[in-house]
Every structure is written in structure tokens, then in C-alpha cells.
Amino acid sequence: MLTGLGCDSFSAVRELFGSPISVKAATASHLGELLMMIVLEYDGFLATYELVNNQEIVQFEAAGEIY
């Protein structure tokens, strides 16, 4: 999934926050085809990166959210 459009959004995360200190957790649905979640550790906070790829939905949406 990261070789498709996921590489662009993941690259944007690295440009905004820099390289993480570590990857705390990573998980994917069966064969990584539909959902992937990564928890990244930065200096003073944790960030989650979520990527959903459902080919049965014909629309494209991308969002970046900071709370």
C-alpha cells in the first residue's frame, strides 16, 4: 500500500514532523490490502498514520488532521 498513493501522504508526514524516533506499532488488515495503521513516536508526542484502500469505493479522499 505504501508504494501507491500512500507514499505521498507518508512523505508529507515526514516533511511536516521529521523522522520519528521510533515506530511503536504497525498493523495491517489481511495482506495489507484494505487498512494499515502505524503509531510513530516523536519527541514529546505520538502520531498515528492510517491508510485505507478500498477499491470498491470509487471516490478519492485524502486528509491530514492535527489535534
* Residue-wise pLDDT tens digits, 8-35: 777 887 888 888 999 999 988 876 567 8
Domain hosting 30: range is: 6-52
Query: How many domains would you assign to the chain?
Result: 1
Inside any domain, residue 16: yes
Lowest mean pLDDT among 3-7, 33-37, 61-65: 3-7
CA 46-62-58 angle, 5° bins: 135
Which of 39, 33, 36 is CA-nearest to residue 56? 33
pTM over 0.75: no
In Å, how far are 26, 46, 62 from 31, measured between CA atoms?
A: 13, 25, 22
Query: Is residue 44 in a domain?
Result: yes
Q: Which of 19-23, 35-39, 54-58 has the weakest average pLDDT?
A: 54-58
Local structure of residue 23 (DSSP, 8 states): E
In a domain, 11, yes or no: yes
Is there a domain that residue 21 lies in?
A: yes
